[in-house]
Amino acid sequence: MDELDQSWFPMAACRDTDVTIFFRDSTSDEAKAICAECAVEEECLNYAVDTVSQLGVFGRMDAKEREKEFGVHPIRVRFVVN
Ligand code: SF4
């Protein structure tokens, strides 16, 4: 995999927020409101798609929305119990 561009990280509107709100369904609207004011929303969404992020809000989209829009299927980890 090519090295991913992370130069936009310092411009993230969520940088100084409680990022846990981006990983809870109950607060996804709050997270998306922060994304709406973010200067690097497009870069962030591309990053999430490129890295097949399975959780969280990135670029104002949650994982289900990314899967629907881009066909990015979450990698499912299975534990086999003998
Ligand atoms: S688009 Fe949202 S999740 Fe992405 S860097 Fe901006 S505020 Fe953070």
pLDDT digits (tens, 9 = 90+) for 49-77: 888 888 999 999 999 999 899 886 655 54
Which contiguous run of DSSP H or E holds residue 61?
Answer: none
* CB atoms inside a 10 Å sphere around CB 35: 21
DSSP-assigned letter for residue 17: S
Q: Tell me which of 72 and 21 has the higher pLDDT.
A: 21
Number of domains in the chain: 1
Structural domain for 65, as ranges = 9-70
Max Cα distance, the chain (Å): 49
Interval between CA 32 and ligand 1 midpoint (Å): 8
> What's the CA gap between 57 and 24, in Å, rounded?
9
Q: How far apart, in whole angstroms, are the C-alpha atoms of residue 20 and residue 4? A: 23
Asked whether residue 76 is assigned to any structural domain, the reply reads no
Q: What is the model's pLDDT at position 71? A: 84
Q: How far apart are CA 56 and CA 20, in angstroms?
A: 9
Residue 3 located in a structural domain: no
**Is 41 contained in some domain?**
yes
- Ligand 1 pocket, residues with Cβ under 6 angstroms: 12-14, 22, 34-35, 38, 40-41, 44, 57-59
Has residue 4 been placed in a domain?
A: no
Q: Is residue 77 part of a domain?
A: no
Distance 79 CA to ligand 1 centre (A): 32
Task: Determine, yes or no, domain membership for 75.
Answer: no
Nearest-CA residue for atom 8 of ligand 1: 14
The pLDDT of 9-29, averaged and rounded, is 96
Q: d(Cα 42, Cα 35) in Å, to the nearest integer?
A: 10
- Residue 57 domain-assigned (yes or no): yes
